[in-house]
Homo-oligomer: A and B are copies of this chain.
């Protein structure tokens, strides 16, 4: 019981730090925000913070892991829903738009950072690979159950969904009104289309 409570507390602390880090990145930029600023925002000593995250790269890793967890939760929900594709699109779009909030400039800055920071580049490349593999696996499982057309190329669909999500983040970062002015509708349409096989040529 003690161990379980400890684990819960640690999880809560990590969540707290990630939220504080996102607030600092929003305010000062990913590059501009220092670990000292994150300590202050989280109300923690440097020793305490470094125990959880040895640097900003570790924070990026944790943000990626959180997104992978969200993706898995949505896939699991869709697997047990009556209409796989519809639920994947609706719940996926919901989680994507909720994850954005005011964070899209931060996500885009982290992508930009990868051009000059090989450790961030390695984390993002690994994240994209895992995300696409998880998505493709989920789509193939749905195909095996007859809940998605076999004609759909699961790997291509996963890669396309990943591109669509990045595009949505970039559009939100470039224009804070984007989500409200139809962006969410375009996101859902693009996701729905990525889950339909292309018509046969000719």
A34-42, A93-101, A108-116, A140-148 - the one binding chain B: A108-116
A160-B189, A167-B164 as given contacts; A108 in contact with B111, CB under 8 Å: yes
Q: A14 an interface residue at 8 Å Cβ cutoff?
A: no
Q: A133 an interface residue at 8 Å Cβ cutoff?
A: no
Q: Which chain B residues border A105 with CB–CB below 8 Å?
A: 112, 114-116
Q: Which chain B residues border A125 with CB–CB below 8 Å?
A: 174-175
B-facing residues in A126-177 (Cβ within 8 Å): 128, 156, 159-160, 162-171, 173-176
In the complex the two chains form, is B29's CB within 8 Å of A116's CB? yes
Size bracket, chain A contacts? 35 or more
Separation of A156 and B121 alpha carbons in the complex (Å)? 33
B-facing residues in A52-110 (Cβ within 8 Å): 105, 108-109
Q: Which chain B residues border A112 with CB–CB below 8 Å?
A: 29, 105, 108-109, 112, 173
Separation of A162 and B174 alpha carbons in the complex (Å)? 12
Q: Which A residues form the contact surface with B (CB < 8 A)?
A: 29, 105, 108-109, 111-112, 114-116, 121, 124-125, 128, 156, 159-160, 162-171, 173-176, 182-183, 185-187, 189-190, 192-194, 196, 198-199
